[in-house]
């Protein structure tokens, strides 16, 4: 079901701008390949949570699974198999090389989202008093 959460929409736009700036201007061995993958999880999560009427846990898990799917497609050289390597934007968006470090970055991004959302909603605090 569709919903609209403007705060998450603004966050998605901010993360998109950060990702574009990293892609255009940062060419190092940490920020672009690792921090960029960590932050892209926030971009996807905020985009999903802006529009999708669900709880944050479902959105976060869907984001993590989507990230893993994209990385797995890189393992199988999906862009090359589809003949899309000549389309730079697709090759950059989907990626062309599998990395376990990327999987770790996605997982850390997911865990950070859970931590932030549990803190924001107070669910972690409320659940600790149920026992």
pTM of structure: 0.88
Q: What pLDDT score was predicted for residue 127?
A: 53
Q: What pLDDT score was predicted for residue 124?
A: 63
**Tally of CA atoms within 13 A in the half-sphere of 69 that contains its CB:** 6
* 28-37: long-range pairs with CB below 8 Å, 24+: 33/99, 33/101, 33/102, 34/101, 34/102, 34/105, 35/105, 37/101, 37/102, 37/105, 37/106, 37/109
Q: Which two tokens stand for residue 37?
A: 């993958």
Q: What pLDDT score was predicted for residue 125?
A: 57
Q: What pLDDT score was predicted for residue 96?
A: 84
> When comparing pLDDT for 124 and 103, which is higher?
103
- Distance between CA atoms of residues 63 and 40, nearest Å: 10
- Distance between CA atoms of residues 37 and 74, nearest Å: 14
Whether residue 60 has pLDDT greater than 50: yes
- 131 pLDDT tier (thresholds 50, 70, 90): very low
User: Which of 9-13, 51-55, 78-82 ranks highest by mean pLDDT?
Assistant: 9-13
pLDDT (average), residues 59-86: 95
* 67-71: long-range pairs with CB below 8 Å, 24+: 67/40, 67/41, 67/106, 67/109, 67/110, 68/103, 68/106, 70/94, 70/95, 71/95, 71/98, 71/99, 71/102, 71/103, 71/106
Break the chain into its structural domains and give their ranges.
6-128
């Amino acid at each position: 079901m569709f919903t609209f959460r403007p705060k998450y929409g603004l966050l998605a736009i901010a993360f998109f701008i950060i990702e574009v700036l990293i892609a255009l201007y940062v060419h190092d061995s940490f920020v672009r390949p690792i921090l960029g993958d960590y932050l892209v999880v926030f971009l996807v999560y905020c985009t999903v949570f802006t529009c999708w009427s669900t709880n944050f846990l479902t959105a976060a898990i869907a984001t993590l699974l989507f990230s893993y799917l994209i990385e797995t497609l890189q393992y199988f050289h999906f862009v090359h198999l589809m003949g899309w390597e000549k389309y730079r934007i697709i090759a950059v968006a989907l990626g062309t090389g599998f990395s376990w470090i990327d999987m770790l970055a996605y997982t850390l991004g997911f865990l950070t989202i859970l931590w932030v959302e549990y803190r924001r909603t107070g669910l972690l605090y409320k659940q600790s008093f149920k026992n």
